[in-house]
Amino acid sequence: MPTYTAPLEDMIFLYEKLRNNKSYNEIEKYKEVTSDLVKDILQEAAKINQNIILPLAKIGDENPTILENGVVRTPPGYKEAYKKFIEDGWQSLSCDPKYGGQGMPKTVSAFFDEMLSSSSLAFKLYSELSIGAYNCINSHATDSIKNKFLPKMVEGKWSGTMCLTEPVCGTDLGLLKTKAVEQSDGTFKISGQKIFITSGDHDLTENIIHLVIARASDSPKGTKGISLFLVPKFVVKEDGSVGQRNGVSTGSIESKMGIKGSATCVLNFDNSIGYMIGPKNKGLNSMFTMMNLERIVVGIQGLGISEIAYQNSLAYAKERKQGKSHNSQSGDGADFIIEHADIRKSLLNMKSIIEGERALCFWLSQQTEVSLYHKDEKTRQEATDLVSLMTPVVKSLFTDMGMEITSDAMQIFGGYGYTKDQGIEQLYRDNRITPIYEGTNSVQAIDLVFRKLINKNGNIIDKYISLIKKDILIEDQKIKPFIEKLSKNIEILAKFTNWINEKMKNSKDDVSAACNDYLKVLGLVATAHAWVKVLEVSFKDYEKNKQFYEEKIQTANFFFNRVLPRIESYYLTATSGSKYIMDFKFN
């Protein structure tokens, strides 16, 4: 089984040294969230993840969820761990105190999300979707609905889901068949089938609150006729207690490649009682509150799995002997594989990507809080635009890199990595869903290029590039070589953007074929931007913690010399066009 130690030093470093967003620091309700408080929270988070949740990963993989006589049963130990999880208040960490939450910002909860993802992604998914459902209900439901459902969800006694996909429609939700018929009392009867529903049914909570998209009987076809409904597994009485079973049943549990401890269900809705959330025929707008935040969290899943893969690869490389390095001092014996240049390159590749991603995620978490809670409307909108731009980037880049890192981890372990004993192949399998769900990474890239670069508020990508250029106006000569490399690649990003804008006019196939490459270019520039922020502190405070900051500088050095240059390849590949792709005749 893999071991895991939460990267507390790096997380606390980011919180203490890179919490420098002026607008974020102006949010009144977070001024009492001190570094000491955050340190205490993260230390306790590390304990529950390392000691209680980590062992569940292997248990859940070997003892998947089962459907037995109409009841979904989670793996051994899940109930006990979940009980401890909610009793200690982890479910309520980022929720509104009005409903029993602790009100911690995403600059804190994102670190906890990463730890959970490292420890057991399958276990994490039972609470993760509940927070997404909470956010959606809190943003769009009436006060009566919020008061009735949110306190139990925040407490963790009730969980939540997101029910979109159907057998006839995945990404193209306009094809959905689920119907909603209005009743005389204002409720709706929901009928239809949903598939691939994460945590769709289980035995961890006394009720499950499903958020279901459906079409009212008098609504138009396509996405313009979709509404959102809250459908509980058990009807909730007026006094808030759980009543009779609603018309929701589990048809089956998917047999999956990974995250086997998570119940991915086929759900049947048969005249289920539902309550409309948000305006009629505007269901996708309401659901995207949940989906967009969830996409960032999926990116964090990729980061978390990358971290545990790296930690175990490093430990193995230090204890496994194989062959002789070119600078061997071992006489006739073999050297530890960490002495081989190729192994060191793989480890540094992992480390430089992971630490850059974590810094980028911390920057984005500050922007997210500003977009939600800053008192100035213009400031909120500017942050909203940045979050919108970076959401598909974080979702896709972090999960794609997660696949690269878990694959490299298996390679470092060699034949042992391919066996189940070490647990490395499970990390690869568990992570494989992250580039797929919440919108495949190709869909994210299309969304970025066709919808996010320019919106009603203008040219967002140019504003973002200007922001980076302003941030890297740093006088310290030691950081200049890094800034020069980033500046060169910012220019490639700008040229790529201009190419996209020109091709939009007359060759959208060229654009479509370039979307994934463009997302990767933007993602690597964004990660390098985050690294520059880390380097600025590292050079400035070097004498205060030489070992920590020297490691940061050398890790960044690898990123800027070995990872960032991928940008040029992506640009050259993408701008070769699409004619040779679209004209190819498949037999």
Per-residue pLDDT, averaged over 291-313, amounts to 94
**pLDDT score at 222:** 86
pTM for this entry: 0.96
Read off the pLDDT band of 286 (50, 70, 90). confident
The pLDDT confidence band at residue 174, using thresholds 50, 70 and 90, is confident
* Residue 332: per-residue pLDDT: 65
Among candidate residues 82, 81, 100, the one with its CA nearest the CA of residue 92: 100
Give the tens place of pLDDT for each residue, 487-509. 999 999 999 999 999 999 999 99
Does position 55 have pLDDT exceeding 90, yes or no? yes
Read out DSSP for 60-119? HHHS--EEETTEEEPPTTHHHHHHHHHHTTSTTTTS-GGGT-----HHHHHHHHHHHHHH
**Residue range 427-456: mean pLDDT, rounded:** 93
How far is residue 84's CA from residue 145's CA, in Å, rounded to a whole number?
28
Can you tell me the mean pLDDT for 163-192? 89
Q: How does pLDDT run across 223-273, given as a tens digit for each residue?
A: 889 999 999 999 999 889 999 999 999 999 999 999 999 999 999 999 999
CA nearest to 102, candidates 33, 19, 31, 204: 33
- Asked if 396 contacts 519 with a C-beta cutoff of 8 angstroms, the reply is yes
The full DSSP string for 531-571 is HHHHHHHHHHTGGGSHHHHHHHHHHHHHIIIIITTHHHHHH
Q: What mean pLDDT is reported for the chain?
A: 95
**Predicted confidence band at 483 (pLDDT cuts at 50, 70, 90)?**
very high
Q: Which of 124, 114, 112 is nearest to 82 (CA)?
A: 124
Nearest to 397 by CA among 213, 578, 584, 570: 570
pLDDT at residue 160 greater than cutoff 90 = yes
Band the pLDDT of 173: cuts 50, 70, 90.
Answer: confident
pLDDT digits (tens, 9 = 90+) for 4-45: 999 999 999 999 999 989 999 999 999 999 999 999 999 999
Single-letter amino acid, residue 192: G
Distance of alpha carbon 444 from alpha carbon 442, whole angstroms: 5
Please tell me which residue in 438, 491, 502, 536 is annotated as part of the active site: 438
Count of Cβ atoms closer than 10 Å to residue 308 Cβ: 29
Q: What integer is the mean pLDDT of 169-182?
A: 84
Average pLDDT for 86-104: 96
The reply to whether 438 belongs to the active site is: yes
Contact 531, 556 (CB under 8 A): yes
* Mean pLDDT of the 291-308 span: 93
pLDDT digits (tens, 9 = 90+) for 547-581: 999 999 999 999 999 999 999 999 999 999 999 99
Cβ(548)–Cβ(479) below 8 Å: no
The helix (run of H) or strand (run of E) holding residue 143 is helix 143-155
Query: What is the per-residue pLDDT for 330?
Result: 65
